[in-house]
Structure 1
Amino acid sequence: MSVVRRIKDAAVLKADESRHEETTAWCNRDLVPLPPSRRTWGWFNYFGAASLGALNVSTWQTPNTFLTQGLSVGQAMAIIVVSRLIVSIFTCVIGWIGLTWHIGFTVQNRYTWGFRGAYIPLIQRVMLNFIWNALQCWNGGKLVAVALTAIWPSFSTMKNTLPASVPTTTSEMVGFTIFWLLSVPFLFIRPERFKKPFFFSSLGCGLAMFSMMVWSLSVAKGVGPIFWKGQDVPATSRWGISWIMMAALNQAIGQKAAGMTNESDFSRYACNRWGLIVGTFSVQWIIGIIVSIAGLVTTAACQRIYGEIFWNPPDLMMVMMDSGHGSSAARAGVFFLSLAFGFAILFQNVCGNAVAGGIDLSGIFPRYVDIRRGALITFIAAWIIQPWQLINRAATFVTVLSSFSVFLAPLLGVMIADYYVIRRQRIKLNDLYRPEGSDYWYSHGFNWRVIPCWIAGWAPTIGGLVASAGKMTGAPDALFQIYYTAFFTGMAISFILYYSLVLVFPVAGAGAFDLHDDWATFTPKEAAALGVVPNENAEEFQLAKFGQSGYAKHGEPTSATQKETWRDLEADMGAEKPVGQVETRTAI
């Protein structure tokens, strides 16, 4: 028993009491509202983070998906333009919560779902992070295999020593292992220090894509017929062009739904509000469109060079160096291309999947898991998930995974309704970390209102998902059509139902907020904008090396300015009388 006790004590996260930190069942250093000294992301950080979501293989290949469905090049690009604009808007809408209150997706779910109810969206996110991390590691491993082939041509013809029951080869497994090992050290970098990795990886991948496009155009002296492809929907097709475009738009948005949902996990690191907006729109929308066009142009040019269409960059790179048997110049060029693409996937995976998984896991196990431990757990899970099985065998599973927005869109609907309409962008930070007497405890830790509204958002579309994944061509048209609008339908249904239900059964504390900044999370300027009495230890941006990262209950206001601010706030709140304000004043 003493051994077990020592192991348990070692596993519990240590809190720095000098900075008022605490580790409880609902709180640790990575979950608290971030103080200014930990908010280091400017516009370029968000530019870099969004770049890694745009400068990658998936964005490069996007037009192919729509062209194979019968759309023209113009129609495919129109879908990319519109879908990325919608994604950029909703990214900022959700991220605004983290920008204002400096809390992440993990904690913000508590005021909507309840302390225990918040586990429902968190578990969804953890599952997605595990799976997408594993798949991205596999894609990165393929690029490592290309780089190794460029150095040692015999690598691609390495004898396969794996049993026939394993749907991969030894060379692919070596590439996966190396990529996994190279990624691990970057898990120890805290998100507030991601500026340099973002800069070098996004710059390298951008230059690689541009070089690849220029090279293909100079050699081909033009583009192939795929670039001029027109609409090609058979007359016998079950769907007209309008429904095909609607399905493609829903698919394009759905691929980014997971990132939109937890945007607050990263927006809380912002040192100013315009950083997220400028960084997101400049890349998520503009650069994403440019990368898709570049991928289309490069593929069309290579169609003239090789007589075939290669949408997947690793496959194209192998052809460019004749599977390692080409000239030394070709092999050197391919090596640097694969290196640039590989590092972009590495940092996008570390930030978007591993770190995000770490944040979500820390919300489920705050006593034992912080961001770093959670990121390591997410990465280790890649070996359990075995992405080579998913990629090479379970095509249906990958289809379902890409359509997981069926469940995430209703989640966004209730989040937006609750924060922007019901709570009027006001929340009580103290009530998010202490269930005793908290308005967010609801009934036994669950907000019973939100669960049926979330289910109602995905219930009408789940049938179409099953029918599409199972290729059930005999299913009714209406089942597919509502599924093709799943993102918009699910979000609207959950938004309207939750708002209506709260009108009938109001939630306590709607529109209320703490009058005093007990977490020292706001600068004096931010506190004034929110109408909050600033903490006596309030920081300006980045003046302290670590900053206060925990809760310290305030005393009576001491300075004349604080006393005056307190009197003004009490007068304003007394006149406004928002729901739940009496409880707030009593609590503090």
Structure 2
Amino acid sequence: MDDAQLEKYRSRGYSDDLLPKTEEKRTWGTFNYFTLWMGSVHNVPNYVAVGGFLILGLSTVSIMAAIVVSAFIIAAVMVLNGAAGSKYGVPFAMILRASYGVRGALFPGILRGCVAAIMWFGLQCYAGSLAFLILIGKIWPGFLEIGGGVSILGITIPGLIAFLIFWAVNVAIGFGGGGVLNKFTAILNPCIYIVFGGMAIWAIYLAGFGNIVHYVPANVQTGGNSLFLFLVVINAVVAVWAAPAVSASDFTQNAKSFKAQATGQTFGLAVAYVLFAVASVCILAGASIHYGTETWNVLDIVQKWDSLFASIFAVLVILMTTISTNATGNIIPAGYQIAAIFPKKLTYKHGVMIASIISVLICPWKLMENQASIYLFLDIIGGILGPVIGVMLAHYFIIMKRNINLDSLYTEPGQFSYYKNGFNSLAFVVTIVAVIVSLSGKFIPVLEPVSRLSWFVGVIVAFGAYAFFASLHRKKNPSFYEDTTEKLETEVNI
């Protein structure tokens, strides 16, 4: 990427945040990617999810194995969908244009980078603020009495103060982007090993490893095919990564090479999930055995500890993992996507600020009053984003043969390269069909097993269908694909 080409894209109205990264700016090596996702693995919602796995009827060893297998599937998707980013140094918001078109990319991009990311950013900030409130209460009990129980928009004054402080820290990390996030995770990761590794050792010591291995919850479900339930656990773990996997290029655009991001992400996720698999099951099962009551929330466990120092340190690390998750999965993708909607007027930092303000205005504490509607919304978002991943992978690897013409992404204002009117109708038809198939079980009871594997079904159906039909188009229009660096300027309607 030379300066002349960058200047050409700037002249078309694109801010530097959206431009391809030059070699000197692509500084992330293997270790940066090794540490990137650790906090996103070890967070409160993931531990609560493992509590749900324990009541499915699978053995604790099977659950650990399913989680480890999930790690390699997640790594494969993150590496492959981030391949274009590491090759061209381009963020997700622009890469998405290759498969959906300049106009067509707006809908899945807004859905992932704005709607899902902003809503989940607010919810994560509020969930983290509850832990922060616990921490403040242990140090300064009188803080919890401020305002005498008066509520503002459904939240107490201490709760609002804790939320705004924690929100501000998350926003600050978001403003710093990937560079600040990497420094943050370098500090966080050793603490994760200390806290969650220590909690696992504590649980094994109190409950006994043999008892943990043979632990069966009181309300465990009976019946069901063990292999199918094993796949259900894998689907649940992988589906959490539907949004980060779609926007993997937001981070791989900084990679020194494909090998650096591939090696770093694979080993980082593998190590993180092996620790998580052992620690989560041992902590939850061991604490349940020790306290004589089923406990699925690590915050509940930490609150019961006698040591004030240990409790405070553990809550601090849990807060840091929430911040890391929020940055990688929500605020950074939202910042890039909002900037891409109005590339002439907005920068990445503008996007972060807009997303952050909206996340407060939606009053996330009110949204959490009805968890059923939240999870339905997130299920639908995940069911849509799985097929988007399938289309993106098929387009880049099967149809484009890993060759993207950047001029077709950074178009002149009002011009649309190689998809008629900037809209790839085939990508949308395939996405819609795959979404319907993957979520069909929510509306047709007999297809309920399909929805329990919704992420896999969505990705596979979308990948297969798009690769097949786009390949047919390629056979009918071979000249269009002969030289992607020159022919893609032609308008076509696939």
TM-score normalized by structure 1? 0.75
Deviations 1:494-533 (A, max 9, x none): 2232233324434774353448xxxxxxxxxxxxxxxxxx
2:438 touches 2:455 (CA, 8 Å); kept in 1? no
Equivalent position of 1:132 in the other structure: 120
Deviations 1:216-245 (A, max 9, x none): 445x2635955422598656x5x4434333
Structure 2: how far apart are the matches of 1:147 and 1:371? 32
| Residue among 329, 336, 342 paired with 2:319 | 342
Equivalent position of 2:368 in the other structure: 391
1:99 touches 1:267 (CA, 8 Å); kept in 2? yes
1:64 aligns with 2:40: no
| Residue among 310, 315, 330 paired with 2:300 | 315
Please say which of residues 203-212 and 157-166 is displaced more in the overlay: 157-166
Shift of 1:342: 0.9
Q: Give the secondary-structure state (helix, strand or coil) at the position aligned to 1:510.
A: helix
Structure 1: how far apart are the matches of 2:196 and 2:148? 32
1:229 aligns with 2:215: yes
Equivalent position of 2:131 in the other structure: 143
Equivalent position of 1:191 in the other structure: 178
Structure 1: how far apart are the matches of 2:4 and 2:416? 27
| Residue among 299, 302, 325 paired with 2:287 | 302
Please say which of residues 503-512 and 98-107 is displaced more in the overlay: 503-512
Structure 2: how far apart are the matches of 1:463 and 1:87? 24
Deviations 1:45-70 (A, max 9, x none): 11221112123223333421211222
Please say which of residues 142-151 and 489-498 is displaced more in the overlay: 489-498
Distance 1:378 1:202, change over 3 A: farther
1:50 touches 1:279 (CA, 8 Å); kept in 2? no
Report 1:366-445 matches (<5 A). Answer: 366-402=343-379, 404-435=381-412, 440-445=417-422
Equivalent position of 1:153 in the other structure: 141
1:422 touches 1:511 (CA, 8 Å); kept in 2? no
Report 1:55-204 matches (<5 A). Answer: 55-125=42-112, 126-155=114-143, 161-163=149-151, 166=154, 169-204=156-191
Structure 2: how far apart are the matches of 1:502 and 1:138? 43
Equivalent position of 1:476 in the other structure: 445
1:512 aligns with 2:454: no
Structure 2: how far apart are the matches of 1:204 and 1:21? 45
TM-score normalized by structure 2? 0.88
Equivalent position of 2:240 in the other structure: 255
Distance 1:302 1:398, change over 3 A: same
Distance 1:41 1:251, change over 3 A: same
Q: Give the secondary-structure state (helix, strand or coil) at the position aligned to 2:37.
A: helix
Equivalent position of 2:464 in the other structure: 496
Structure 2: how far apart are the matches of 1:426 and 1:19? 19
Deviations 1:381-428 (A, max 9, x none): 221222212323232322441453211121111111111111111111
Shift of 1:160: 5.6
Equivalent position of 1:538 in the other structure: none
Aligned length: 484
Name which one, 1 or 2, has greater alpha-carbon Rg. 1
1:21 touches 1:28 (CA, 8 Å); kept in 2? no
Shift of 1:213: 3.1
1:224 touches 1:302 (CA, 8 Å); kept in 2? no
Distance 1:582 1:463, change over 3 A: closer
More helix by share: 2
1:55 touches 1:202 (CA, 8 Å); kept in 2? no
Distance 1:362 1:89, change over 3 A: same
Distance 1:339 1:448, change over 3 A: same
Equivalent position of 1:574 in the other structure: none
Structure 2: how far apart are the matches of 1:40 and 1:449? 36
Distance 1:304 1:453, change over 3 A: closer
1:31 touches 1:103 (CA, 8 Å); kept in 2? yes
1:358 touches 1:371 (CA, 8 Å); kept in 2? yes
Shift of 1:284: 1.4
Distance 1:262 1:512, change over 3 A: farther
Q: Give the secondary-structure state (helix, strand or coil) at the position aligned to 1:269.
A: coil
1:266 aligns with 2:251: yes
1:223 touches 1:303 (CA, 8 Å); kept in 2? no
Q: Give the secondary-structure state (helix, strand or coil) at the position aligned to 1:33.
A: coil
Equivalent position of 1:246 in the other structure: 231
Q: Which runs of 5+ in 2 are unaligned?
A: none
Structure 1: how far apart are the matches of 2:220 and 2:289? 24
Equivalent position of 1:287 in the other structure: 272
Identical columns (%):
24
Structure 2: how far apart are the matches of 1:214 and 1:286? 17
Aligned partner letter, 1:35: T
Structure 2: how far apart are the matches of 1:314 and 1:221? 19
Aligned partner letter, 2:130: K
Structure 2: how far apart are the matches of 1:132 and 1:165? 19
Structure 1: how far apart are the matches of 2:265 and 2:437? 32
Structure 1: how far apart are the matches of 2:146 and 2:226? 46
1:21 touches 1:29 (CA, 8 Å); kept in 2? no
Q: Which runs of 5+ in 1 are unaligned?
A: 1-15, 322-329, 468-474, 516-579
Shift of 1:179: 0.7
Deviations 1:432-478 (A, max 9, x none): 1124897734211112221111111111233323x4xxxxxxx532x
Structure 2: how far apart are the matches of 1:418 and 1:58? 33
Structure 2: how far apart are the matches of 1:19 and 1:389? 45
Q: Give the secondary-structure state (helix, strand or coil) at the position aligned to 2:15.
A: coil
Structure 2: how far apart are the matches of 1:435 and 1:441? 13
Equivalent position of 1:487 in the other structure: 455
Structure 2: how far apart are the matches of 1:83 and 1:30? 33
Structure 1: how far apart are the matches of 2:391 and 2:192? 37
Deviations 1:4-44 (A, max 9, x none): xxxxxxxxxxxx99983765676221111110121121112
